[in-house]
Chain A
């Protein structure tokens, strides 16, 4: 799988051009200060913001090309997102959060639970299945969001500041966990961060924004 973005993204008055291709197994870190368009590119690839111009392509399938009016809805793109603010569903417990995407894709309930349990075990949340997101610590919430994205076996994983909202101890633990789970999932990853420590810990290459 490869995904390529050649075009400009933006919201309101903000606009920025990107040109990159990323292949399976790669972890591309996009770094830059606040307001440099890091999150916007994640939201654009996920289909939550339309591309301003150019094209976004995945394995030859056009996801977004405003000039030719091609557009694939977010629910039909083979990518998963860990949002900066996580966006765990507050009314669902950890298991329901993680299994949500599988169920939405028509996976049978038993299989969805089994796959979710495996992932939760892998990120160290095996005994947290029944808890609500509000009953978790920052680091635990982060792990739950990561499990929720990985359980989909996405071809492309989009991580938006995945370590920004956790304390130092959790951050160290997650920096150890991330390369491990990213190495074994096999797809491509785009990591957006302002922390060069994150880049060193996980990225295979990086793209700096001013």
Chain B
């Protein structure tokens, strides 16, 4: 361990900060009804919410990757002024209250929405309050995390290698797939994990745009929220599941997120 001198006052402040984060999480571990855990986890409503959460968040992470990586590439490799504005728009969901995101999605894709009305009139497609809406809400809030992570990697990667590939006859798309993507692979994997974790925890935008219908659109966070007043013990168990999944993501990405020592 490095020799460091941290004053006692700072140590106390640091301890309070750490305790403030750790205490609520530890409280869940203390209060979870461990003896009934197996039975509660096997309940139909729990399994359904878990399944919907896993299904929608995995699809959302993959969609975020499929479209977010090209967006990150465009933002990293183009110096047009309009793109700065595009970047701001694309990362806005990161700082936007999720419920506002849900309202925005309703306004665009709701049955009376700017796009949604035509989808309904012409194709009889109604997106709100469906599982597709859950995925859309998750992509809306999660994709910016992936875009930022991957764009940073593209910016840091060696332009010289891309230039070399071009002098060898590689088209811009070949350069992207054979040189840029492999160089940014760690960031892309981290971006997918980040987007997935964010999708899994998504609540505000999803519940506004997709509603909380058990077995159809109700994800784990929605189930936790609804159970708090009805079955507190079960909400603790579902919270525990979400904590474990979050810890697993953190463990898998520890090299990237933990401070270098």
Q: What per-residue 1/0 map shows which CB atoms of A65-77 lie under 8 Å from chain B?
A: 0000000011111
Report Cα–Cα, A80/B178, bound state, in Å. Answer: 19
Please tell me which stretch of A23-31, A85-93, A116-124 contacts chain B, meaning at least 4 of its Cβ atoms lie within 8 angstroms of it: A85-93
A104 at the A/B interface (Cβ < 8 Å)? yes
Report Cα–Cα, A148/B158, bound state, in Å. Answer: 19
Q: What per-residue 1/0 map shows which CB atoms of B144-172 lie under 8 Å from chain A?
A: 00000000000000101101111111110
CB <8 Å contact, A80 and B174: no
Q: Pick the contact of B170 from A47, A81, A100 — CB < 8 Å? A: A100
Q: Enumerate chain B residues within 8 angstroms of A87, measured Cβ to Cβ.
A: 158, 160-161, 163-164
CB <8 Å contact, A46 and B160: no
Q: A83-B160, A100-B178, A104-B174 in contact; A89/B165 too (CB < 8 A)?
A: yes
Q: Pick the contact of A74 from B166, B178, B182 — CB < 8 Å? A: B166
Q: Enumerate chain A residues within 8 angstroms of B160, measured Cβ to Cβ.
A: 83, 85, 87
Q: Pick the contact of A148 from B163, B168, B170, B179 — CB < 8 Å? A: B168
B74 at the A/B interface (Cβ < 8 Å)? no
B183 at the A/B interface (Cβ < 8 Å)? yes
A48 at the A/B interface (Cβ < 8 Å)? yes
Q: Enumerate chain A residues within 8 angstroms of B161, measured Cβ to Cβ.
A: 87, 89-90
Report Cα–Cα, A85/B164, bound state, in Å. Answer: 11
Name the CB-closest residue of A to B160.
A87
Q: What per-residue 1/0 map shows which CB atoms of B27-60 lie under 8 Å from chain A?
A: 0000000000000000000000000000000000
Q: Enumerate chain A residues within 8 angstroms of B163, measured Cβ to Cβ.
A: 48, 74, 87
CB <8 Å contact, A48 and B165: no
Determine how close the nearest CB of chain A comes to the CB of B169; give it in whole angstroms. Answer: 4
Q: Enumerate chain B residues within 8 angstroms of A81, measured Cβ to Cβ.
A: 164, 167
Report Cα–Cα, A146/B147, bound state, in Å. Answer: 37
Determine how close the nearest CB of chain B comes to the CB of A188; give it in whole angstroms. Answer: 16
A163 at the A/B interface (Cβ < 8 Å)? no
Determine how close the nearest CB of chain A comes to the CB of B113; give it in whole angstroms. Answer: 42
CB <8 Å contact, A79 and B167: yes
Using a CB-CB cutoff of 8 Å, which residues 6-64 of chain A contact chain B? Answer: 46-48
Q: Enumerate chain A residues within 8 angstroms of B182, measured Cβ to Cβ.
A: 91
- Sorting the interface of chain B by its residue count into under 10, 10 to 19, 20 to 34 or 35 or more gives 10 to 19
Name the CB-closest residue of B to A107.
B169
CB <8 Å contact, A47 and B165: no
Report Cα–Cα, A83/B160, bound state, in Å. Answer: 9
CB <8 Å contact, B165 and A73: no
CB <8 Å contact, A80 and B165: no
CB <8 Å contact, B179 and A75: no
Q: Enumerate chain B residues within 8 angstroms of A90, measured Cβ to Cβ.
A: 161
Report Cα–Cα, A81/B164, bound state, in Å. Answer: 8
Name the CB-closest residue of A to B181.
A91
Q: Enumerate chain A residues within 8 angstroms of B168, measured Cβ to Cβ.
A: 75, 80, 100-101, 104, 148, 152
A105 at the A/B interface (Cβ < 8 Å)? yes
Q: Enumerate chain B residues within 8 angstroms of A85, measured Cβ to Cβ.
A: 160
CB <8 Å contact, A100 and B167: no
Q: Enumerate chain B residues within 8 angstroms of A80, measured Cβ to Cβ.
A: 167-168
Q: Pick the contact of A73 from B158, B166, B179, B183 — CB < 8 Å? A: B166
Report Cα–Cα, A87/B165, bound state, in Å. Answer: 9
CB <8 Å contact, B165 and A104: yes
Q: A89-B179, A91-B182, A100-B178 in contact; A75/B164 too (CB < 8 A)?
A: no
Name the CB-closest residue of B to A86.
B164
Q: What per-residue 1/0 map shows which CB atoms of A93-114 lie under 8 Å from chain B?
A: 0000000110011000000000
Q: Which residues of A contact B (CB under 8 A)?
A: 46-48, 73-77, 79-81, 83, 85, 87, 89-91, 100-101, 104-105, 148, 152
Between A and B, 6 residue pairs with Cβ closer than 8 Å are: A74-B163, A74-B166, A74-B167, A83-B164, A87-B163, A101-B169
Q: Which 6 A-B pairs have the closest CB atoms?
A: A101-B168, A87-B164, A104-B170, A104-B169, A74-B166, A91-B182
Please name 6 further chain A to chain B contacts, defined as beta carbons within 8 Å, in addition to the given A75-B167, A100-B170, sorted by A numbering: A47-B167, A73-B166, A77-B167, A87-B163, A91-B183, A101-B168
